[in-house]
Chains A and B, each alone.
Chain A
Amino acid sequence: MIDVGNLIQGTRIHGSLYRDPEVFERELNEIWYKVWVYVGHESEIPNRGDFVRRMIGRQPVIVVRGADGTVRAFFNRCRHRGNMVCHADRGNTAAFTCPYHGWTYSTAGALQQPTFEDGYDSKLRREDFGLVPLPRLDAYRGLIFASVSPEGITLDEHLGGAKEFIDLFMDLSPAGRVSLTAGNQKVRYAGNWKFMPENSMEGDYHGPFIHKVAFELHSKKTGFDVSSLYENEIPDVIRSLPGGHMVEDYRGATIAPPKRPPSAARIAYADAMKRAYGEEKAGKLLGTMAPLIYIFPNLMYLMTHIRVIAPVSVNETFVYYQPMLLDGVPDEINEERLRMHEFMFGAAGFISPDDIEIMERIQTAVNAGGNEWLFIGRGAHRDTVLPDGGSTGYTMDENHIRGFWQHYSGVMNAGA
């Protein structure tokens, strides 16, 4: 059996972690089928009977708001012969009926009717054949997480210090609520899933290289200049949280403000924020960029959207970009957010496709083997270790990536 600990040596990572099918199988069992995995947001299923279909690793899952208003998650599999009982991406239903032999389940998972029931002996108890619920389900500020394992730390413990950063982007809404109702850009790439968090959380280092032209186009149009971020590197931007979570916290950085005067909608938004949070907190929320965050293993918040990572195989990944609309703001603000999102993200955006191209190129290189080690040592000599066990680093440092791998190593070897 692979000793993952040997493949992760502080500032160096072994290429096989991105290409070895055995590593991927271990990740399914030790990560995807054990830890808390993000499966959706409550705004996606606001009404009784609303459901979305999701994947946890290879497991098809249904997340549904029952007729009683309670959110539940089930393995998407008929208890009779294993067919998926739900094939729609999302929708509203009174019940899930398996199309194969007509077994029907309530939105609470109860088997209502095995068809031609008189052919089964009296020992068939309906209560033994309900949809199987995910063993654990919990939510934080509308973000729903599930775990395939009945045991483990609570969601509260899993999120830990990350909650403070989730609050910061949720509080961009004066109502403290966001909606993921604006659709879902779905992208696939030929690379390992771990490239996505590694890349997405170190944009300041690679930004001036692969995103230079997009930054320039943006700056020319809006006057919003991000070059100060990497020209004046400062401490405490990059943060590693216990639990493998990563943060880019720009609140201490100087970002040149846009040169244009604010629109009427912006002024109304700022006023609503002041009413909701008071002058000081509203000023801080609007005057700085909300920290970008990665929650181990599959959830990210980046500027305009919630991003979800779904591993398909060791060298194929699906990624979902769901724009985050703010509740309680003028419609123009959310429309601006959508247009900004399309500028940067999705298959046809001007930023994330260059990241994905890099991930595919790294995959090609690590597939070859030999010359195995990848280096994640930037800032290792100046990490500031925090009392919670996390660390902070300068704007372009890689301490959070080291934290991610350290956590990964612990989780992967836990069952060994």
Chain B
Amino acid sequence: MDEGRYREWLDLWTDDAQYWVPCNDDDIDPAKQVSIIYDDRDRLTQRVERLLSGSVLSQQPRPRMRRVVSNIEIGPASGAEVTVESNFVLGVARNGTKHVWIGRSIHQLREDGGTLKIARKKVLLIDNDQEIPLLQFLI
């Protein structure tokens, strides 16, 4: 994600993928409330295609970014799935400014053809109820 390896990242997802960044609060009903990101596999693929097209202006040039993932908690496995929660701090540097994104990720991982894939990822930004700058990369 930090190195722009978008296609490889897309391959990590199951076909019924759900990539979700809620807006205004961590627990909302996406059928009735707007999200910052609420991607199914098709929308996720579009997101990656758009990034790869080179047409995303705020990614020209691509910002330098690095994230630290910590406080990893692995939940009990249920069938082929397991929930993994973690915290992240992501620094994004561009045009002489740095912005720090902070949040908690909840991954629902599923065994799929001998490997673990991401079935769901929910990202709880600490500032999802505040005025945020553009989020045009993978969080």
Contact = CB atoms under 8 A, between A and B. Distances in A.
Interface of A: 89, 181-189, 210, 212-214, 217, 221, 318, 321, 323, 331, 334-335, 338-339, 341-343, 346-348, 350, 353-354, 356-358, 361
A348 B36 contact: yes
Interface string B42-62: 110011011001011110000
B124 interface: no
Given A346-B36, A347-B134, A183 B24 contact: yes
Contacts of B136: 347-348, 353
B23 interface: yes
Contacts of B31: 331, 335, 338
Contact of B134 (A182, A212, A334, A353): A353
A338 B123 CA distance: 19
Interface in B103-139: 129-136, 139
Q: Which of B28, B30, B46 has the most chain A CB atoms closer than 10 A to its own CB?
A: B46
Contacts of A341: 34
Contact of B129 (A89, A187, A213, A214): A89
A57 to B, nearest CB: 16
A343 B46 CA distance: 10
Interface residues of B, number: 33
A163 B119 CA distance: 47
A379 to B, nearest CB: 26
Contacts of B46: 217, 221, 343, 350
B32 A182 contact: yes
Interface in B1-49: 21, 23-24, 28, 30-38, 42-43, 46-47, 49
Interface of B: 21, 23-24, 28, 30-38, 42-43, 46-47, 49-50, 53, 55-58, 129-136, 139
Nearest to A211: B55
A183 B28 contact: yes
A187 B32 contact: no
Contact of A183 (B33, B47, B57, B133): B33
Contacts of B50: 213-214, 217, 350
A246 to B, nearest CB: 23
B42 A187 contact: no
